[in-house]
Amino acid sequence: MYKNLIINIDELWLKGKNRKYYFKTLKDHVKIVLKAHAKDEYIKLRNEQQRLVAESEVGFTKEAIASLVKVPGISTVQPAISVEKDKEAILPAIIKKLTEEIGDKKHVTFKVKCKRIDKSFPHNSMDMCREYGHLLLKEFDQLKVDVRKPDIMIDIKVMPENIFISTEKLTATGGLPVRTSGRVVTMISGGFDSPVASFMMSKRGCSQDFIFFYAYPYVGDEVKDKILKICSILGEYQRGCRLYVVPFGEVQNKIAKTCHEEYRTILFRKFMVETANLLADRVKADAILTGDALGQVSSQTMRNLQVVDNFSKRIMLRPLVGFNKLEIIRLSEKIGTHDVSVIPHDDACALFSPKHPVIKADPKYMDEYSIENNLTDMLNQALDDSEVYSIDVLGEVEER
């Protein structure tokens, strides 16, 4: 286990005077994540110029590092060995580490990289790289230098207080720290798209509340279980969030009975967006987030997206609007929601879906229907009757 983590921060260089605020927000998030894994242990977390350095007496578990890598705003995480600020201490530490990594492999390529954050350290970076490269070649017969694509990159960082040696650099989520870009209500379903959309906006720093429209009794617990699993995964990219499971079967039943059949799906969407806005009023969110991709299904034509937008008081965020299905699926694999999304489930929209859904909805009919069928009270009641779950940074779900 590694006792030190060097946490490099993304996009900080883009920031000006608000840099401090971004830095602090991210640091708080990192602290929460590491604390959640450390249980009782005190974790030291300090600023080192543009990065954070975390220290643990016991060492950071693989799980803790995996969680950290998901935190938006972090660009890379380097698990590191710390040695005292003495040139003589470096080589034995590298040899020990390489012995573990090389194991019984016959041929391994490497490169030594050195950076002095503390420029007062008397040996310059180029010299150190050359010297350690040479000494390591003498020590290990299996090693060969490859400066372009080495199997092992030995990264030496001379910090003000100590020297870090690391051989791994894990790419993290990147983007902006959660809570720096406002709050959104995310419309989530059991499919591939909306979880990926959630991830996209997590990495742009949005904190989220999830809303799921539960079409009981047309669908059953297995769909809800699926949503809980998905939100548990998405929760790891968030800094504490909530899921609202809104009973929607009655609303859908009413709409289906009273509207032109071809308008069912788009009217469902319209009332879902309206409900999401009502929730946004309650949780003080600034936008509604959906997984729409242009033209994917009938409710996602340009016209239909526009028609639904007319009923939203808030900006509708659609980060996947220009994505192909396969691109979305690939991303869902990357973020971990794929294996849950792929489980077949009953989808109420598919169940109610008209034979010929409208592709160019008539805004006039939508308006007329909405005036004749003001369901705001019913939607508010559905929100009141919601099951609410809180999800922590480890993805633990708890019913409130």
Q: Is 346 in the site for other proteins (CB under 8 A)?
A: yes
Burial of 142 (0-12, 13-18, 19+ CB in 10 A): middle
188 among the known binding-site residues? yes
Find the distance separating the first CA and the last CA of the chain, reported in whole Å.
36
269 among the known binding-site residues? yes
16 among the known binding-site residues? no
CB of 271 to other proteins, least distance (A): 15
* CA 368/CA 358 separation, integer angstroms: 16
x/- track of binding to other proteins for residues 326-345 (CB under 8 A): ------------------x-
* Residue 48 CA, distance from chain mean position: 25
Residue among 220, 294, 325, 381 that touches other proteins (CB under 8 A): 220
Burial of 49 (0-12, 13-18, 19+ CB in 10 A): exposed
Residues numbered 103 to 122 that lie near other proteins (CB under 8 A) are none
CB of 375 to other proteins, least distance (A): 16
Residue among 121, 140, 216, 311 that touches other proteins (CB under 8 A): 216
Contacts of 337 (CB under 8 A, 6+ apart): 192, 195, 196, 199, 230, 233, 234
Q: Is 192 in the site for other proteins (CB under 8 A)?
A: no
Report how far apart, in Å, the C-alpha atoms of 368 and of each of 259, 267, 362, 364, 400 are: 11, 12, 10, 6, 38
183 among the known binding-site residues? no
CB of 272 to other proteins, least distance (A): 17
* CA 377/CA 381 separation, integer angstroms: 6
Which of 40-48, 80-88, 212-220, 279-287 is the region at the interface with other proteins (rule: CB under 8 A)? 212-220
CB of 346 to other proteins, least distance (A): 7
300 among the known binding-site residues? yes
Helix axes 249-258, 264-283, angle to 10 degrees: 140
| 3-state secondary structure at position 333 | helix
Compare residues 152 and 255 and give the one whose CB is closer to other proteins.
255
Compare residues 322 and 344 and give the one whose CB is closer to other proteins.
344
- Concatenating the DSSP letter of every residue in 256-278 gives HHHS-GGGHHHHHHHHHHHHHHH
Number of Cβ within a 10 Å radius of residue 349: 20
Residue among 121, 140, 352, 365 that touches other proteins (CB under 8 A): 352
Residues of this chain that bind other proteins (CB under 8 A)? 216-218, 220, 222, 253, 256-257, 344, 346, 351-352
Binding residues for ATP: 187-188, 269, 291, 300
Binding residues: 187-188, 269, 291, 300
